[in-house]
Structure 1
Amino acid sequence: MQMKKIYNQTRNFVLIAMLVTVLGSCKKSFLEILPKGKVIATKTADYDLLLNQLDLINIPATSQVLLGDEISFIEPGWTGATYKEKQLFKWEGDLYNSDEDASETLIPTRNLYVYNKIINEVMDATEGTEVNKKSIQAEAYAGRAWTNFLLIQYFGKPYNPATAATDLGFPLITEADINGKNFTRSSVQQIYDQIISDLTTAIPNIISDGVPFRSRMSKAAAQGILAKVYVFMGRHAEALPLLDESIANLAKSIVITNVVNYNTSFQGSPTTVNDLENVYSKNMSYGYAGASNRLIWLTPEAASLFGPTDTRLIRQFLVTTYPNGLKLYKRTNTLSYNIGLKVPELYLLRAEVKTRLDDLSGAVADLVYLRQNRMPAADAGVPVLTAAAKMPLLQFVMEERIREFAVTGYRWFDMRRLSVDPLFTIPVYQHKVYNVDGVVSETYNFKPERFVFKFSPKVLAENPTLQDNL
């Protein structure tokens, strides 16, 4: 009900232009018509309301879930899967028909329009204080940065400082121009530079240090997002103080924002604004969960990473045992999932950064803090030999990320960044389909070019100057 109320408050302030994707095309005569009941944002409060609209919260981009190496398919779900689902699982590039909108660009580029409109106009709005205007603008800067970070994960190669200046990224869109055309792709480096600029501009001007409401940007969220960007760029020393500040600022939140102890108070499937672990809500509808959907399952290899008392496996997955002894686990209690920023990720990012910077004891402390909220304290420790050496501990952190975010799409993003990490070697990633007897019926090997998405035929047709990925 609260989400519906926000939408009702916001919709009358949304221009008709927000109903079309920035990368789309339409007739000018249509755009010149302002429907009855619509008003153009002029007051500071109008721009504030624009930040509440549902498109900024609900991001229907779930393709990354099917690209992770921790998932498998089973029959009869595999036979009944859609063309796109099968293509993703097989790591194929062509996902859409010529008339289909792509979930990877449709809502994110609409949102860029909204953020750019606020950034470029709010300081000239009527009413409101200078401080409030700067804070609203800062939220838009940070929201634009988060959106560009998602888009560069989809369409740009993993960040490699040696090639980022020439690797193709995504068009850099900084104007709220619905008539924009002739888009070309900026480099990966240019996109990352813009993301960093937006976040460093935003952080000092955001009024709320802690989380005021999970769908709105806070200083804690912006600091955490910038830290994550630095981690994905391999700039770990710059990420650490931001992670420290982000975690410290969570204590100043208006709404409770912390790690939930699954041993005593498992949340089940809360809405994104009621999930106590959400720092910044970007809600992904999770169509692969539910009792009637038997589409994707946790691989036996990934399931083996969990200990017997780990509540993340016990509470979040249902097990099916086949006659041959195979056990496959299906995620449940998840009708949606937050891909914005979560408290557990802040601790896991900090554990990773501390490990890379040779603070092994500090990394272990962060790991244990998270793990003791996921299993009995007696089982939450890190094995002694693992805790004493950098690479084993770093591998443990990566496995902890699988345990924490299994079958939610995080894994593919990690696969991307680790592919250019000199400390890691790319393994032979495989996807397997199991038949009704629990026997492997099909196997697909990972294609390295699927570290990026191809643009949809519709986007390419409307933007002939765009160069596609392979």
Structure 2
Amino acid sequence: MTLLNKIGLLLLLITLLTSCGKDFLEVAPKGSLIASKTFEYENMLYTSQSIGFDIPLLVLGDDVTTLSTYFNATNLRFQRLFRWEADIYEQEQSASELQDPIKNIYLYNKIINEVMNSEEGSTEYKRSIQAEAIASRAYFNMMLVNYYGKPYHPETAATDLGIPLITIADVTQNNFTRATVKEVYESMISDLKSSIPDMPINVPHRLRMCRAAAEFTLAKIYWYMADYKSALEWIKTAKGHLPTSFEVGLYDFNQTYTNPNWSVGSGFNNIQDVMVRISISQWILNGNEILLAPWVSELYKPNDMRLKSFTNVPYQGTGTFPVTGMMRRKGPTGAQVAHGVTMPDVTLMQAECEARLDRTEEARTTLLNFRKMRMPEADATVSAVSKNDLIKFVIEERVREFALYGHRWLDMRRLSNDPLFENTTYTHITYDGQNGAALESYTLDPLRLTLRLPRGVIDANPGMPNNP
């Protein structure tokens, strides 16, 4: 099938998936998708890259600050997220960070349950499509449980509420039960381990999930569980299965991070993406609401090329922001925020696992090689030596690498159960837009590390308990 035909089918499927009801989580498509041939099921896999619009992760991390000028003019959802309030949505509002993943899971379940009976495809071909859908379902369950389930803790995971595990594509289903966090994690691990053997190393496009992407996702699930030995094993396995059908690697920002003309690929052409899953965000593209907190600016060395991603000049404004170190992100990928499987994330996960497993020299080498791709070699030194100092260094490196892209919130969640970080206090500060004085400070209540389900969802699903 030609690329144009694939795009046409993608648009058709998006249209079919746009209209939603409110039976579980406002997401079940009212229409039905009809496919009969194996290639038609395969083409459905091109439609599931969205993780939501203006996702909460972008606001929730403590790497974010704001100015009253912009904060007071933004919508109520943004303000509630920034203040870490319990309820973010009005009764009639939908949450795309919930809606889009569930739409995708519906699609995957249709493929999983039907493709083996499809026409004009070999058994091996059908199994590979089914396996990709199973692994992709696990990825989106991982996203959802990190919004609506408590951070994984082995002592409480068996009783902490997670998300409903949906395994059928039935638009009439209306009785949903929230699985425990432990059950969700066991389901994701089972899905991935069962599907990986049938997944191809090479897929046609980074929109699709290749074997390495599935293995990296499994590594990340173990990383969220603080099973660093298993996580590192799967990272190394995945690195042996990187696709050759498209380029995968790290950009050397010393060569490519030129300003103002970015030569870092964006969206579907970024070589750092093993699998593309994105959020489109107006906050990142053309706004001043989300600004870099001054404490984050202090983490960068002056020659760190990542600083070229930021500016202290307001969007469509004049002058500079009134707080030293306060900046907005201006690149390199426009409105696209990557949260799929990326090589920078994987590399820093590897360094953290090595440090936590007392493989400190390996961790230092992994960090050094990574930092050489982000700044001149003379500045890339890793000062940390001990295990704990290396762990803290990795966490700071993650802040530097992913500032204002939402990863910080996920790190804050998982580190809440870590003795090294569990007593950390997180704050958001609103500064005066004229003189830069601190106006309001909000402290994160640990309960808010787990988002509450939207009010409309709870109202439409009687008996489903919400988070505190």
Scaled by the length of structure 1, what TM-score is found?
0.91
CA change 1:4–1:417 in 2 (3 A) is: farther
SS at match of 2:269: coil
Inter-partner Cα distance in structure 1 for 2:3 and 2:121: 25
CA change 1:108–1:16 in 2 (3 A) is: same
Q: Does 1:248 align with 2:246?
A: no
- In structure 1, the gaps of 5 or more residues are none
1:279 aligns to what?
274
CA change 1:126–1:84 in 2 (3 A) is: same
Equivalent residues, number = 454
1:260 aligns to what?
251
2:195 aligns to what?
202
Inter-partner Cα distance in structure 1 for 2:321 and 2:305: 26
Shift of 1:211: 5.8
- In structure 2, the gaps of 5 or more residues are 314-318
Inter-partner Cα distance in structure 2 for 1:325 and 1:91: 23
Shift of 1:119: 0.8
Inter-partner Cα distance in structure 1 for 2:193 and 2:56: 30
Q: Percent identity?
A: 35
Shift of 1:464: 1.1
Amino acid at match of 1:429: Y
Is the CA contact (8 Å cut-off) linking 1:13 and 1:46 kept in structure 2?
no
Amino acid at match of 2:353: V
Inter-partner Cα distance in structure 2 for 1:187 and 1:278: 31
CA change 1:227–1:468 in 2 (3 A) is: same
1:214 aligns to what?
206
Amino acid at match of 2:249: N
1:230 aligns to what?
222
CA change 1:350–1:20 in 2 (3 A) is: same
Cα distance per residue 1:167-218 (max 9 Å; x no partner): 00001111111111121211000000010011101111111x2564110011
Match of 2:92 among 95, 99, 104: 99
Inter-partner Cα distance in structure 2 for 1:298 and 1:161: 34
SS at match of 1:444: strand
Inter-partner Cα distance in structure 2 for 1:96 and 1:355: 40
Amino acid at match of 1:348: L
Q: Does 1:307 align with 2:301?
A: yes
Is the CA contact (8 Å cut-off) linking 1:17 and 1:178 kept in structure 2?
no
When structure 1 is superposed on structure 2, of 364-373 and 418-427 the one drifting more is: 418-427
Is the CA contact (8 Å cut-off) linking 1:322 and 1:438 kept in structure 2?
no
1:354 aligns to what?
354
CA change 1:410–1:269 in 2 (3 A) is: same
Shift of 1:105: 1.4
SS at match of 1:66: helix
Is the CA contact (8 Å cut-off) linking 2:292 and 2:325 kept in structure 1?
no
Cα distance per residue 1:358-412 (max 9 Å; x no partner): 11111111111211110001111201xx1x2000000000000000000010000
Is the CA contact (8 Å cut-off) linking 1:211 and 1:279 kept in structure 2?
no
Q: How does 1:105-120 map to 2 (within 5 A)?
A: 105-120=98-113
Shift of 1:13: 6.3
CA change 1:240–1:324 in 2 (3 A) is: closer
Shift of 1:263: 0.8
Match of 2:158 among 148, 165, 170: 165
SS at match of 1:328: coil
Aligned-residue CA RMSD in angstroms? 2.3
Inter-partner Cα distance in structure 2 for 1:198 and 1:69: 33
1:414 aligns to what?
411
Match of 2:172 among 163, 174, 179: 179
Match of 2:455 among 443, 454, 457: 457
Shift of 1:444: 0.7
Cα distance per residue 1:61-119 (max 9 Å; x no partner): 51111110111001311111110100000000211111111122111111111011111
Amino acid at match of 2:226: G
Amino acid at match of 2:464: L
Inter-partner Cα distance in structure 2 for 1:323 and 1:451: 30
Shift of 1:149: 0.3
Amino acid at match of 1:243: I
Is the CA contact (8 Å cut-off) linking 2:283 and 2:289 kept in structure 1?
yes
Q: How does 1:390-401 map to 2 (within 5 A)?
A: 390-401=387-398
CA change 1:78–1:226 in 2 (3 A) is: same
2:316 aligns to what?
none
Inter-partner Cα distance in structure 2 for 1:129 and 1:115: 20
2:464 aligns to what?
466
Q: How does 1:401-440 map to 2 (within 5 A)?
A: 401-435=398-432, 436-440=434-438
Shift of 1:20: 2.6
Is the CA contact (8 Å cut-off) linking 1:211 and 1:257 kept in structure 2?
no
Cα distance per residue 1:255-277 (max 9 Å; x no partner): 11110011111356744211111
CA change 1:210–1:247 in 2 (3 A) is: farther
Inter-partner Cα distance in structure 1 for 2:247 and 2:362: 25
SS at match of 1:80: coil
Shift of 1:288: 1.2
SS at match of 1:170: strand
Scaled by the length of structure 2, what TM-score is found?
0.92
Shift of 1:19: 4.0
SS at match of 2:268: coil
Amino acid at match of 2:246: V
Inter-partner Cα distance in structure 2 for 1:269 and 1:336: 13
2:83 aligns to what?
90
Inter-partner Cα distance in structure 1 for 2:395 and 2:164: 31
When structure 1 is superposed on structure 2, of 394-403 and 448-457 the one drifting more is: 448-457
